[in-house]
Every structure is written in C-alpha cells, then in structure tokens.
Amino acid sequence: QQQVKQSPQSLIVQKGGISIINCAYENTAFDYFPWYQQFPGKGPALLIAIRPDVSEKKEGRFTISFNKSAKQFSLHIMDSQPGDSATYFCAARTVFQGGKLIFGQGTELSVKP
Amino acid sequence: GAGVSQSPRYKVAKRGQDVALRCDPISGHVSLFWYQQALGQGPEFLTYFQNEAQLDKSGLPSDRFFAERPEGSVSTLKIQRTQQEDSAVYLCASSLARVGLRKDTEAFFGQGTRLTVV
C-alpha cells in the first residue's frame, strides 16, 4: 500500500528554470520528510529535509514547502542546472522503531542547457 | 571507511542459486537498514537492525530472504533459491540514530548491489 505518492514521474526543465516536484502522504505517523537525489549507479543521497512543525526550509537553490493539513510537501529547485539532472525521491520517516523510510516513486529530472 | 560500502557491486545468479550481499556501515552507526529498489521505482524497506538486534523484518518479501548483523557492524542479506522477481538493486543504509534520539539524523546509503537473476 503506497503511503507516499510523488509526481510528476518525469520532468524536463530549461537551464535557469524552476523545477517543482510534489509529494503527498497518507499516514500521520511520520516525523521527518527528506528528499533524496540519486544519480545512475549510485545510492540515494540526502538533499534536504524538513520536520512537520516547519512550513518551509531553504538551503541554497533547494526549498521544501510543507503543508501539514493537506499532507503535502514539495521540492523547488531554483535556477536549475544540467548537473541537477538526476532522479529525485521524496520520503517520509516512520515514528516507530528505527524510523524506516517510505519512498515516493521518484521523479526523473532532466535540465536542458 | 568514509561511507557505507556494499559488495559485490554486481551479482548475476542463476535461478535457484543462493546469494549473499554484504554491507559495511559507517563506523559507529547504530541503525542499519536494507532496502530493495526495483528498476524505475523508489527503494522499499526490507529490514532494520539496531546494533545486532533485528527489530523489524516486516518488509522481507518471503522466507527466502534472511538478514543478519551478528556483531552489530557488518550485515549480510542472504537470498535463498533466487527467482527472477528478486532482480533489483539492494541498498544498505546506516545512521547514528537510535530509538528516541533520532531528531534529524541522516541515513547514509551505499551504492547498492545490483542483483540479476537469469
């Protein structure tokens, strides 16, 4: 049962544009919402993360917006660069035990020069 | 080592063969997770260890899958009698986090082992 839904599945953006990826979750027993970036042949790497008591977090060109009442959060990549081309995963960490991550299906981002 | 190390990077197994996948977590990391990532999909949780204790194995797809972490550091994921549907990338992640003290601790992933069952 999918608890984190991610869209779009793929995204093409021009260099300098804004990339926006959206996620929605179905379970309230989550305490941490990270975004991971994955390049081909590599493991996921943490990009930015937010706790549910915060509505927005910005780190450089990357911003997470979090809407607790709607159970939605999104990643905005400002001034997108060709080097940002990768697959992005949103995730939600469960409250229980060690905090396993529930991942979205992924968004393949391509930034055109 | 500086990061999570997994071996082998690639494994081709004949259907019915047993395989063992190794994970060396970051030194001192208490928590260790195994995930399965099918092609074009997000990682899916398999199992979780806190030190040597396997506290959650709810994601293991069948009794052919077995994981251990006997000394609380290196972990091995074993798949018996492999089948074609086992073909995937198996990811290991570790973190400093322990129950009750997680806050914003990050999970670090290895590069994964790509298993192909033919």
Residue B52 sits at the chain A interface (C-beta within 8 Å): no
Residue B50 sits at the chain A interface (C-beta within 8 Å): yes
Residue from the list B44, B55, B95 with its beta carbon closest to the beta carbon of A97: B55
Contact B32, A99 (CB under 8 A): no
Of A75-84, B24-33, B76-85, least confident by mean pLDDT is: B24-33
Amino acid making up residue A5 = K
pLDDT of B100 higher than 60: no
Q: Work out the average pLDDT over B7-19.
A: 98
CA atoms of A63 and A29, how far apart (whole Å)? 23
| Nearest CA-CA distance, residue A5 and chain B, Å | 11
Phi, psi (rounded to 5 degrees) for A84: -80, -10
Low-confidence stretches of chain A (pLDDT < 70) are: 1-2, 97
Contact A74, A54 (CB under 8 A): no
Which pLDDT band holds residue B101 (cuts at 50, 70, 90)? low
Q: Do A106 and B40 touch (CB under 8 A)?
A: yes
pLDDT tens for each residue of B32-61: 999 999 999 999 999 999 999 999 999 999
The pLDDT value recorded for residue B106 is: 83
pLDDT of B97 higher than 80: no
> What is the end-to-end Cα distance of chain A in Å, rounded?
38
Contact B47, B54 (CB under 8 A): yes
The pLDDT value recorded for residue B103 is: 58
CA atoms of B60 and B66, how far apart (whole Å)? 8
The pLDDT value recorded for residue A98 is: 73
Q: Do B104 and A32 touch (CB under 8 A)?
A: yes
Q: Do B56 and A99 touch (CB under 8 A)?
A: no
Which pLDDT band holds residue B1 (cuts at 50, 70, 90)? low
pLDDT tens for each residue of B59-70: 999 999 999 999
Average pLDDT, chain B: 92
The pLDDT value recorded for residue A31 is: 86
Share of chain B above pLDDT 90, in %: 86
Task: Pick the closest to residue B32 from B21, B48, B17, B19 (CA basis).
Answer: B48
The pLDDT value recorded for residue A105 is: 96
| A68: Cβ contacts below 8 Å, ≥ 6 apart | A52, A55
